[in-house]
Amino acid sequence: MQEELAPYGMTIIAVAIDSDLEAVQEWAAHAPGLTILIDRDFTVAEQYGIVNVPATVWIDEDGRIVRPADTAMGDDRFRAFAHVDSSVHHAQLRRWVIDGERLLDDAAVADLMEQPSPELQLARLHRRIAVELDDRGDVEGAREHLATAAELAPYDWVIRRGSMPMNDIDPFGDKFFEFVGEWMQAGSPGYRLATGREFPGDQVGTAPE
Amino acid sequence: MATVINDTQHVQVEAALDDRWLMGADAFESLTGWTLKPEGMCRADVCAPIYRKAAVLPEPGMIDLVEAAPVIGLSAVVDVARGVAALGASAASRGDSMTTLQAPSFTLPDMHGKPVSLHDFDRRKVLLLAWSSW
């Protein structure tokens, strides 16, 4: 997409919401030429209300958000699970970049921004402390803060799943599916795709089964 | 010295840590940009009144970081035993800035450690793609 749309004035900034430098470097090696940044403290996730990855945000030439954080796959590897068709997103992206067409007006974008609860904000701060302590080799201290973060924001994917590697838990393993189960039982909170709020023209909107 | 992690960096600060995280007015000002004055916490020509004085200013000239943060639109979490605090936007101020639809600026290191900002791409459309290894 970068190669195709760059001549029309678009840049992809790929932000790794990830505290594990080595893991990021491994993945980044598969995408040479892409601008890849590392957000170890998850600050960008917080600023843009990103509740899960992968997600995209569209920012126009005036620095305005014209499409808020939305699960959007680069390809169809996770299609069966996430019910997201990457070709729909790609087609919409072309219409925006090449034809200047917007799917949502400002009011609709503002309405779809995932505003944080006070508990989620505190959970994010506990997570920042955990990253610092983990860097110092204080694994015990890091896990204490991750546990507090999980209590404060039990259904936030970035907090829960994003903390699994630091807790030595496989983010693709049993514990992850346990979390998905808990989250679905709670009514799939804080997640646009699962709450049926979809964009015009999107063929998405059903929760993973 | 203790460490405070804010939205952009890790800052070393002078702090008195016992059961609370206390900072002198000067250290608090260099950390947050807000000055303690008789009328409250002030920055430029804006002053925020301190309603809970006993909690925010428990000792003469000393500011409790956790209690003072909400006065200036922030939230703080502290670990006094380990000397680490995190300071970020309160839920209300984060929510307010989100609804302005102004894309928040950020500066993050690339794969070679070079800082890159959203502003480096001014006047272009940006597809911000958040991803991870997890």
| Chain B contact set for A18 (CB, 8 A) | 132-134
Calpha distance B27→A178 (Å, rounded): 45
CB contact under 8 A, A9 and B125: yes
- ipTM strictly over 0.90? yes
Q: Which of residues 136-155 of A touch B (CB under 8 A)?
A: 138, 141, 145
- Cis amide prior to B109 (ω within 30 degrees): no
CA–centroid distance for A168 within its chain? 21
* Nearest CA distance, A104 vs chain B (angstrom): 12
Calpha distance B66→B75 (Å, rounded): 7
CA terminus-to-terminus distance, chain A: 30
* Short-list A205, A203, A174, A175, CA closest to A188: A205
Considering only the beta carbons, identify the residue of B84, B122, B123 that sits closest to A132.
B84
In this prediction, residue A85 carries a pLDDT of 56
In this prediction, residue B28 carries a pLDDT of 97
- Cis amide prior to A189 (ω within 30 degrees): no
Considering only the beta carbons, identify the residue of B98, B103, B130 that sits closest to A115.
B98
Mutate to test the interface with B, among A25, A106, A114, A129 (most CBs of B within 10 A): A129
- The kind and range of the H/E element at A153 are none
Considering only the beta carbons, identify the residue of A23, A121, A128 that sits closest to B89.
A121
Q: Which residue has the tokens 């917080």?
A: A46
| Chain B contact set for A26 (CB, 8 A) | 133
In this prediction, residue A194 carries a pLDDT of 37
CB contact under 8 A, A45 and B103: no
pLDDT in tens, B4-60: 999 989 999 999 999 999 999 999 999 999 999 999 999 999 999 999 999 999 998
Q: State yes or no: pLDDT of B74 exceeds 90.
A: yes
In this prediction, residue A197 carries a pLDDT of 42
* Nearest CA distance, B8 vs chain A (angstrom): 8
Any CB–CB contact under 8 A between B102 and chain A? yes
Calpha distance B106→A15 (Å, rounded): 11
In this prediction, residue A207 carries a pLDDT of 38
Q: In this structure, what token pair is assigned to residue B98?
A: 């989100």
Q: Which residues of chain A are under the pLDDT cut of 50?
A: 76, 78-84, 193-209
| Residues near B90 by beta carbon (within 8 Å), at least 6 away in sequence | A118, A121, B69, B70, B73, B74, B75
Amino acid occupying residue B105: S
